[in-house]
Structure 1
């Protein structure tokens, strides 16, 4: 190697090391302001949040044999309001629309539970179980249009349901290829197509006849797991739930030329899901806990804060942080831990 080459290589290594060290110095370790672990023997999965008409905030915590609804308004005084039993399943997903929560599991034959949240803070009631499908791994709800997307079977990979009557959903159509998860906004749904290694973008302005607008392949993809759109709709962040596969940011400003512009991976090297709110992405990153990434410059993703329940940041495998919910106006963030239940943390960047 020539002297010049050695010099340039040295500059590159120094620059890389400086960048990483600055990121580590600037990031904040968040502390839990609350912890709930009533069902440790059952274990936990995903979580979602709900705010009632009076501004009280609730965690909807997935337990393997049910759903726990917890008032987190005062972190020093967590109160479980209700526990709604379900079939036992490792996997569960929960989303909300108006005063209702919709709960699905991977337990065959169970269908979709519909919970009435209007009785909070006193009670939550199971008001219906939708049985027109028997199993679903993930849900997404376009709350502006009252449209629910349910991950489905190979025969009906994504189902579209109308929530015109929230207690009695009606399936409108189905579409797609093998699917793991969906995220929708403004008439476009972004579908994480699992083992296909692709993201499918569909127009559902006519929900009875969704149409493929664009499908793009993630190079050397793992299992394409979830995706979330930036607030301005110009970028999409994706996860692949595969060891060593990065969280990726794609520029969607020109759908004829979708470009990878940023990547990130925490020490555990296994990311689960990402959500974006404002200038930050909130990644549930298994053994690396919750990771908060500044995405204001999508080409320069920077970790600014994190939460782990211990000092260890690189636990391997499918452990610790399953889910995260950053959408409360207060700046509270829910973190669901597989073995240790619910943690609540606060982050100024999540406040509205």
Structure 2
């Protein structure tokens, strides 16, 4: 049930350019407020200087007028009398008038300079004040969630996949369906199309001591309690009808393909890529009663990702021409008044400056580097902290709206491939050093596995912008290809009754240790051991076949897996047709297991 929504109050206030580095915390807010006070003092001093200059200018102008009048009168007397003494007086008066005029001109220049400085200081002070207000608003928005679990539950039509096929090291745990769409149309080979979910995410509730799972798809947003992680309890939804804006006839939500959340402030951002593109902002501090805060238009809306502790959002997609791999930046520190910068960041993922193509995903790694994937390449950027900027050849502070390039580019041999999303592996793999390997999916929906999109392992060696390497449009730096993987011909490979393979394209994935769990549409989920990045091995799989209702049980929709999310020992699979499947990978996981599973905004 959706709580009564506040009036749509999203608006564009002024841009806050003085972006402090690091996450919002009392010290950061204090620094922003100190900056605002310091700049306001400077503005007050500049205003006083301008006022004094204005007074001096008025005096100089009055003197110039007075001496000019005196010179004119003396000149008239001299002309009338013709006497040498009067002519001398006239000449002296003219000199005084000229000097007074020069002094007035100098006073005007000094006033102009001080007035401009005062205006600049006032603008800087106003900007700093706005920045401090937004920092404080972000801090004030931190919530621990409700301390008492609600009692509301919604009926869930999930059917346990008792016909699932899978490797011996995969255990099928459960299935939920949540909110569905009656108009689940999408680009899919399956007749069932996409009534269910394209993505999901998790929000931790400190006071309750457990997480909520949120998933979005063509039917809207669904929320489950994970108090029992094997049996999620469906507790709330935000439906398409509730997301409709005034005057719209929207029959399905599209598309939120990489759902981003702010666990710190208990917010969910749904990104829309149809009609008026942009962000729905939903408060789930009480997840049993979510509140729609409003809708904020953004020029790109295929996916959106929180960066810099979810104080800013990078939105990507198609629909912006003339920009090399466009990214639009939205300041959401004051969540009731988001602001999107009019100028897009040019991510230039191919490093050629080409302005054709689109961007698809933004993913933050363990070091805070923000990776943009799109047509022909993947490029990483620093968006906070001080780093070397190869463009200016200086060390400066990176910001969300003025980032500093880090590394990346096209992948050798796959220069024209559509690169869907990426993950920079944090640790050493095989012969590759720490932080060198990037995992990438190439999406190309095809029932011929030989032509479909593949899972890619690439090396960043030689592409780091801070290492003095040279990249030009004519000779762009590229990542080296280490290996690719396709489910075609592997155990679990699905071929439909007509002899065609199900959609074989790689899609979203997450990583645990050295094991990748990846969605491959109709090929279900594949587990890959990437301990040797030059030779990834499939070590597990899960897929649900279609089944008609009959003596074997109720009807079951077959897999159309969008992704696979590791979370607290389980793998949750958002499926375009099925809902969410829950499985466990039971084999030992090689490699270093991080204390968080990092994808999208790299939430802890």
TM-score tier (shorter) = 0.7 to 0.9
Selected match of 1:227 from 422, 442, 458 = 422
Q: What's the counterpart of residue 345 of structure 2?
A: 175
Per the TM alignment, residue 254 of structure 1 is displaced from its structure 2 partner at its CA by 3.8
After the TM superposition, which residues 107-256 of structure 1 pair with which residues of structure 2 at under 5 Å, given as runs? 107-109=274-276, 111-120=278-287, 122-131=288-297, 133=298, 135-142=300-307, 144=309, 146-152=311-317, 153-155=319-321, 157-172=326-341, 174-176=344-346, 178-185=358-365, 186-194=367-375, 197-204=376-383, 205-218=398-411, 219-220=413-414, 221-232=416-427, 233-242=435-444, 243=446, 244-255=452-463
Q: 1:214 to 1:52 in 2, by over 3 A?
A: same
- The Cα offsets for residues 206-237 of structure 1, whole Å up to 9 and x where unpaired, read as 22322444452232443221111213332111
Normalised TM-score (structure 2): 0.48
**SS in structure 1 opposite 2:305?**
strand
Q: What's the counterpart of residue 247 of structure 2?
A: none
Q: What's the counterpart of residue 175 of structure 2?
A: 35
Per the TM alignment, residue 28 of structure 1 is displaced from its structure 2 partner at its CA by 4.1
CA contact (8 A) 1:192 1:200 kept: yes
Q: 1:214 to 1:351 in 2, by over 3 A?
A: closer
| Range with greater deviation from structure 2 (224-233 or 96-105) | 224-233
Q: 1:134 to 1:89 in 2, by over 3 A?
A: farther
In the alignment, structure 2 segments of 5+ residues that lack a partner are 1-165, 185-194, 244-249, 349-357, 384-397, 428-434, 447-451, 464-468, 470-477, 489-502, 548-557, 596-604
Q: What's the counterpart of residue 482 of structure 2?
A: 261
Per the TM alignment, residue 119 of structure 1 is displaced from its structure 2 partner at its CA by 1.0
Alignment partners' CA distance in 2, 1:351 and 1:311: 36
Alignment partners' CA distance in 1, 2:236 and 2:330: 27
**SS in structure 1 opposite 2:440?**
strand
Per the TM alignment, residue 101 of structure 1 is displaced from its structure 2 partner at its CA by 0.9
CA contact (8 A) 1:108 1:135 kept: no
CA contact (8 A) 2:277 2:301 kept: no
Alignment partners' CA distance in 1, 2:402 and 2:310: 16
**SS in structure 1 opposite 2:359?**
coil
Per the TM alignment, residue 167 of structure 1 is displaced from its structure 2 partner at its CA by 4.3
Q: What's the counterpart of residue 315 of structure 1?
A: none
Alignment partners' CA distance in 1, 2:312 and 2:203: 18
Per the TM alignment, residue 331 of structure 1 is displaced from its structure 2 partner at its CA by 1.2
Q: What's the counterpart of residue 300 of structure 1?
A: 535
Alignment partners' CA distance in 2, 1:311 and 1:134: 38
Which of the pair is proportionally richer in helix? Answer: 2
Q: 1:277 to 1:250 in 2, by over 3 A?
A: same
Q: What's the counterpart of residue 571 of structure 2?
A: 333
Per the TM alignment, residue 90 of structure 1 is displaced from its structure 2 partner at its CA by 4.5
Of structures 1 and 2, the larger Rg is shown by 2
Q: What's the counterpart of residue 321 of structure 1?
A: 561
Q: 1:252 to 1:134 in 2, by over 3 A?
A: closer
Per the TM alignment, residue 161 of structure 1 is displaced from its structure 2 partner at its CA by 2.4
Alignment partners' CA distance in 2, 1:66 and 1:241: 24
Q: What's the counterpart of residue 216 of structure 2?
A: 62
CA contact (8 A) 1:184 1:190 kept: yes
Residues 1:52 and 2:205 are matched in the alignment = yes
Normalised TM-score (structure 1): 0.79
Per the TM alignment, residue 74 of structure 1 is displaced from its structure 2 partner at its CA by 1.4
Q: What's the counterpart of residue 20 of structure 1?
A: none
Which of the pair is proportionally richer in strand? Answer: 1
Per the TM alignment, residue 50 of structure 1 is displaced from its structure 2 partner at its CA by 2.3
Alignment partners' CA distance in 2, 1:249 and 1:76: 32
Per the TM alignment, residue 80 of structure 1 is displaced from its structure 2 partner at its CA by 1.6
CA contact (8 A) 1:33 1:75 kept: no
Alignment partners' CA distance in 1, 2:485 and 2:400: 34
Q: 1:123 to 1:258 in 2, by over 3 A?
A: same
Per the TM alignment, residue 332 of structure 1 is displaced from its structure 2 partner at its CA by 1.9
Q: 1:351 to 1:35 in 2, by over 3 A?
A: farther
Per the TM alignment, residue 181 of structure 1 is displaced from its structure 2 partner at its CA by 1.1
Alignment partners' CA distance in 2, 1:40 and 1:32: 25
Q: What's the counterpart of residue 133 of structure 2?
A: none
Selected match of 1:100 from 267, 273, 295 = 267
Per the TM alignment, residue 134 of structure 1 is displaced from its structure 2 partner at its CA by 5.4
Residues 1:278 and 2:432 are matched in the alignment = no
In the alignment, structure 1 segments of 5+ residues that lack a partner are 1-25, 313-317
Alignment partners' CA distance in 1, 2:532 and 2:167: 16
